[in-house]
Structure 1
Amino acid sequence: MMQPGSDSPPASAARRIAHLDMDAFYASVELLRYPHLRGQPVVIGGRSTHAPVQDKDGNWHYTRMRDYVGRGVVTTSTYEARALGVFSAMGTMKAARLAPDAILLPADFDAYRHYSGLFKRAVAVIAPDIEDRGIDEIYLDLSSHTEDSVTLARMLKQAVTQATGLTCSVGIAPNKLLAKICSELDKPDGITVLTHADLPTRIWPMSVRKINGIGPKAAEKLAALGIETIAQLAAYDAQALLQHFGRSYGDWLHRAAHGIDDRPVVTYSEPKSISRETTFERDLHARQDRAALSDILIRLCERLGADLERKGYVSRTIGIKLRFSDFHIVTRDISLDAPVQTPAEILHAARECLKRVPLDQRMRLLGVRASALCHPDQLEQMPQRYVQGDLFDGE
């Protein structure tokens, strides 16, 4: 039945892998707080956005998109706002032109992390083999379960709703690649179950961009070869793909188009780094806006330190990231004799990095990163020797 290629389904076809994706997660969390906004176009984002205010008569007052001025980006949006063309990572000013009457709410990442923990713990009771892919999505290995796939999906969705009041979409397939695709097919609040036999009717007619791992540049190069759908990619000569894309990526493209993916569900992995960054509402200069930049740097280090403490890590390498007004990005890092975790220690190291960067241009972004992570119980007690100061001063 599988034509355009001769590849047959691998032994992994017996596996059942689920991809669980929360529906418009950030926006849905906000609607728990403001349920009267359900059914309306709502956008989350805008760093200077004011939270809604309720007056003494019980009337709510919101920031509308048309009132926004700044350079922030959309974090997410409700499905009603998406119908107007507003999507995540879009510039907020552009979104305001598309949906001027939409309501703009500030992001509350502490709340999102709280609900993320709730839904993951609820799912783990049913299916403990979980690969955490971010704040709002996970993979699950359901191969050992005796229940049928639809029953399992309903159990997972019910557990998520009972724990959070939110909905999710679940895709179940023989592997992670197909599960990721099919969780998007019936959003929101959907269940999709696919097998390799469904590739010709459900997967091959789709755009190649639906395959996680094919980005804009690869899609553009594929289009130049006359390949726009997954079916066309599956039918394309495998050796020609190797010539155009190299052995590794070309082979992956061929296998992905035929729904072949043997990656396991990785239930645990050590993070390589943890970072915090912020984009400014206006370009800031290291000299003229010294006090503002110092405050921003301190807050970033405080948040990064809290992240490290919450996740149980210390860091031997601290780095900074700067994006200047011309969009040029500069990074610097410093390896430390003793690992650090506290905000003051991170701040001292970050300032050392900043001293190695010519700060003669205006900046639009500042970030701080902790890498070379390890657990404190593997090390001797860390010295507490760093204190807060000015943007450039270490003491």
Structure 2
Amino acid sequence: MPRLIAHLDMDAFYASVELLRYPELKGLPVVIGGGRRHQPVMRPDGTREFSLLRDYTGRGVLTTSTYEARKLGVFSAMPTMKAAKLAPDAVLLPVDFDEYRKYSRLFKAAVRRIAPLVEDRGIDEIYIDLSDLPGVHDDGGRAIGQALKDAVFDATGGLTCSVGITPNKLLSKLCSEFDKPDGLTLLRADEIPARVWPLAARKVNGIGPKASEKLAAHGMHTIGDIAARDAAYLVEHFGKSYGAWLHRASHGIDDREVVTHSEPVSMSRETTFERDLHAVRDRHVLTPIFTELCMEVADDLSRKGYAAKTIGIKLRFDDFKIVTRDLTLPAHTMDAKTIRRAAGECLKRVDLTRRLRLLGVRAGNLAKLSELLNPHATDAPVAQEPAPAYHAPLPLFDASEGGSSA
């Protein structure tokens, strides 16, 4: 029997979770990306007062928006000040990743109860191998697709998702966008010329802006345009690997399996400041933020059962230059104090003269705690907790840590 692979994508996930919490906002343009000061306030009469986009000041970017806001031209990753000009009356809500992770766990558990072969692709999307489920080929997966959508809706208390079901992952991801929101799209291989080839080339996951621009320069604007070119032509102009992939992708060929388990490469937390901050003059603001990021990374490691041996930092300055630094520890750790100390050591190797737009902390070189605690599984020792010579809270930037008093 042919493969049947589903791609399930939650609809405007973060925004939809917030609408469950604040149902009075349904049907209104809402954007997610504010800070703590944009938390709704309860009025004496029991109604809520919400922040509006018109009142925003700062340098942040939007995380997501409702479909009503998108109709006004407001999308994720857009600078918030730009969005305020397009949709000044849109409601602005703060980001709440703990709540989004909770609902992510709920919808994925609901799916696994029906179809256990699931590949986790992030907080709001998954691939599902439906091929061996009883009766799934009788209707091309339509009944099971609807069952998955219903299960997600019930488990989350009202969240919708869009599902694409096709012979492979590439086509399924493409099709899950066809009928958003709350869509269910099925596609057979013989329907590719009629339904896929007319689409813009950039719709294919793996064809980014630069590749789209280069394809257009060669007269290829749609997926069908690419499919019409010989494989040799694509390889000649786009390289052996990418050219061959373009040929296969344009014909809807994708042999990738649904991977049900993979180990994380790293864990990180970062924040973009609403205004550029100076290493010395804004030390009182930066220090607790930096410490909180380290604590969040430590919590992520502990919650997921990992320890890290390499700690790093990421800085973006006011000129948009990005700087990263890493430090490899003598032993793995999941301790916030050890992570904070290592991240502080990384800061000593950075020129902090310019103002900062973004600050991040990363934990890499991960190992499972179960393996570290089993002497037969690995030779890597676990770092002793707490780290010696740690005094909390540490100043973030001072002369000894490379800070400038200018």
Stretch deviating more after TM superposition (95-104 or 382-391): 382-391
Correspondence for 1:54: 42
* Alignment equivalent of 1:81, drawn from 59, 69, 73: 69
2:154 to 155, 162, 167: 162
Structure-1 separation of matches of 2:171 and 2:242: 18
**Aligned residue type for 2:368:** H
Q: Is the 8 A contact 2:307 2:333 kept in 1?
A: yes
Q: Structure 1 CA distance, aligned partners of 2:39 and 2:386?
A: 39
Residue of structure 2 in register with 1:383 after alignment = 384
1:350 corresponds to which of 333, 343, 347:
343
How far did 1:142 drift?
A: 0.4
* Structure 1, unpaired ranges of 5+: 1-12
Report the 3-state secondary structure (helix = DSSP H, G, I; strand = E; otherwise coil) of the residue aligned with 2:63: strand
- Structure 1 residue 35 displacement after superposition: 0.8
**Alpha-carbon offset, residue 243 of structure 1:** 1.4
**Aligned residues with identical type, % of pairs:** 63
CA contact (8 A) 1:301 1:347 kept: yes
Deviation, structure 1 residue 176: 0.2
Query: CA separation in 2, counterparts of 1:216 and 1:205?
Result: 18
Q: Calculate the TM-score normalised by the size of structure 2.
A: 0.92
1:242 aligns with 2:235: yes
State the shift of 1:109 in Å.
0.7
Equivalent position of 2:301 in the other structure: 308
Shift of 1:317: 0.4
1:147 equivalent in structure 2: 135
Match of 2:188 in 1: 195
Partner residue of 2:292 out of 290, 296, 299: 299
Q: CA deviation at 1:291?
A: 2.2
| 2:126 alignment partner, SS class | strand
Q: In the alignment, what sits opposite 2:106?
A: 118
C-alpha contact (below 8 Å) 1:46/1:70 kept by paired residues: no
Tell me, which stretches of 5 or more residues in structure 2 are unaligned?
Answer: 373-380, 402-406
Distance 1:54 1:294 in 2: 31
- CA distance in structure 1 between the aligned counterparts of 2:82 and 2:49, rounded to whole angstroms: 23
1:3 paired residue number:
none
Residue 382 of structure 1 aligns with an amino acid whose one-letter code is: A
Alignment deviations for residues 65-123 of structure 1 (CA, whole Å, 9 cap, x no partner): 11111111111111111111111111111111111111111111100000000000010
Q: CA RMSD in A?
A: 1.5
1:392 deviates by 4.9
The offset of 1:385, in angstroms, is 3.7
Is 1:91 aligned with 2:79? yes
Contact 1:325 1:364 in 2 (8 A): yes
Native 8 Å contact 2:335 2:386 kept in 1: no
Query: Structure 1 length as normaliser, TM-score?
Result: 0.94
1:361, distance to aligned residue in structure 2 (A): 1.3
Contact conserved, 2:333 with 2:382, CA < 8 A, in 1? no
- The DSSP-based 3-state class of the residue aligned with 2:38 is coil
252, 256, 259: which one aligns with 2:245: 252
Separation (CA, whole Å) in 1 of partners of 2:53 and 2:348: 39
Listed one character per residue, the Cα deviations across residues 144-182 of structure 1 (whole Å, up to 9, x for unaligned) are 012330100011011101100211111000000000000
Question: Superposition pairs for residues 263-342 of structure 1, below 5 Å?
Answer: 263-342=256-335
SS at match of 1:74: coil
| Of 101, 108, 113, the match for 2:89 | 101
- Give the equivalent residue in structure 2 for 1:67: 55
Alpha-carbon separation, structure 1, partners of 2:269 and 2:223: 37
Matched-pair contact (CA < 8 Å) for 1:47–1:72 = no
- Conserved? CA contact 1:49–1:104, under 8 Å: no
Q: Distance in 2 between matches of 1:108 and 1:286?
A: 27
Mapped partners of 2:20, 2:100: distance in 1: 11
Q: Give the aligned residue type for 2:96.
A: D
